[in-house]
Amino acid sequence: MTASGPSSTPTAPADGPAAAAGRPGPWLVGRPLPVAPGRNLYCFPHSGGSAGEYVRWGRDLPGTQVYGIGLPGRAGRAAEPALPRLDDLVNALLDATSFAAPYVLFGHSLGALVAYEVTRELAARGRPLPERLVVSAFAAPHLPRDAPRLHERPDAELAAALIDRYGGIPRQVARDPELMALFLPAFRADLTLLENYVHRPGAPVPVPIEVFGGDTDVVTADQLRLWSRHSSVSTRLRLFRGGHFYFRDDSEPLLSALDALL
């Protein structure tokens, strides 16, 4: 998790030439390639995460344009009000942004849920779909969630719960109250999205779903396998060595897998 990512510049609405060309807008964080990419990867961050962490993958995915999705109320958009409901977030994103084909969506943890709901809405709108949806370290969305609700807790309680629950918080952040105070609004916004989410039954997406996870994560292989209910094409599970953030100690296996998919 990082505090900020590369900056982006505003663009036209989704039906304008800038969006149609896939150039960055306020939702897209990245470093545009000097030549037209052969493929595009859009990454949805985890709770409390930064789009910039995923943008850096572009250095190891030659020929791939990598964008992180920057949400309002986080990092470079911290001054904007966060959207408390996932439906509103998805609609705002798709009203303002288009994805340049050919493309793949990747989401880690909460980002997997957001990427899935974006794919559902793309299908509902008749928009071009991703070639694949890659969901990482998040149980199938129809499963009940029994974790305690945190987003309405006072800062001190929220900080303690986050340190206890999330192994992805760097030690230097967890030990520094001032740094934790900077990160808490983004965590609170993300937890609000997650804890307000209610899965709506519907048709599986007509997109292959690749399911990734860590072999020692609290999100189990059985929970990941149930993503098979949500694709009408195919699903495939791959486990990597490690926990919830299995790619942080060694990103090469994940990046190799993404490179092959792209």
Indicate which residue of 98, 109, 136, 231 is catalytic: 109
Say how far apart CA 22 and CA 69 lie, in whole Å.
Answer: 13
| Cα 93 from chain centre | 13
DSSP tag of 63: T
Question: Hey, which bits of 174-255 come out as E strands?
Answer: 209-214, 235-240
244 is catalytic: yes
Question: Hey, which bits of the chain come out as E strands?
Answer: 28-30, 39-44, 64-69, 103-108, 132-136, 209-214, 235-240
109 is catalytic: yes
| Cα 176 from chain centre | 26
| Cα 52 from chain centre | 12
* Residues labelled catalytic: 109, 244
